[in-house]
């Protein structure tokens, strides 16, 4: 009985502290699966919301067994958690990159901390100039 009153009181407190009519959205977790093959990322464009924890699941499924990477300037200095079989990572051409060998998968997790459009590219040789590019759009957090 005591627990029931505590739950009721907590619910009332929540109702009184949240302004009426405003949607409440907690920062979420967005998992984006990205396939890497010769000269393209699929998908090459995705949208998240500011504050979301973003998990990019990179999968190199190139039928010609080419190496690929995910490289972006906006990842330089950003706190990132990496899981999986990253072949190599570092900074090259002012971009932080994560190389993914053929037939392997890598996860990159980070928080989308600011709104905007953020490009990425495959940093391997001429893959970017052949069209292996994309972008992440980050919508502003709802007020």
pTM recorded for the entire structure:
0.81
- Please give the mean pLDDT across all residues of the chain: 87
Cβ–Cβ contacts within 10 Å for residue 33, how many? 14
27 band by pLDDT with thresholds 50, 70 and 90 = confident
Pairing of strands 116-121, 105-111: unpaired
Please check whether residue 58 is in contact with residue 108, taking contact to mean a CB–CB distance below 8 angstroms: yes
Has residue 29 got a pLDDT over 90? yes
CA distances to 78, 98, 130, 137 from 108, rounded to whole Å, are 11, 9, 24, 17
Looking at domain 25-139, what is its CATH homologous superfamily? Cupredoxins -  blue copper proteins (2.60.40.420)
Of the chain, the percentage scoring pLDDT greater than 90 comes to: 80
Position 98 scores a pLDDT of 98
In this predicted model, what pLDDT tens digit does every residue of 91-113 receive, in sequence order? 999 999 999 999 999 999 999 99
Domain spans of the chain? 25-139
């Amino acid at each position: 009985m005591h627990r029931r009153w505590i739950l009721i009181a907590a619910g009332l407190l929540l109702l009184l502290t949240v302004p009426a009519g405003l949607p409440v959205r907690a920062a979420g977790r967005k998992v984006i699966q990205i396939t890497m093959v010769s000269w393209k990322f699929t998908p090459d464009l995705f949208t998240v919301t500011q504050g979301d924890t973003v998990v990019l699941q990179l999968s190199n499924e190139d039928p010609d067994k080419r190496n690929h990477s995910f490289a972006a300037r906006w990842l330089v200095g950003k706190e990132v958690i990496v899981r999986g079989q990253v072949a190599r990572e570092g900074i090259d051409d002012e971009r932080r990159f994560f190389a993914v060998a053929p037939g392997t998968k890598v996860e990159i997790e980070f928080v989308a901390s600011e709104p905007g459009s953020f490009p990425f590219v495959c940093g391997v040789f001429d893959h970017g100039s052949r069209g292996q590019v994309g972008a992440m759009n980050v919508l502003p957090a709802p007020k």
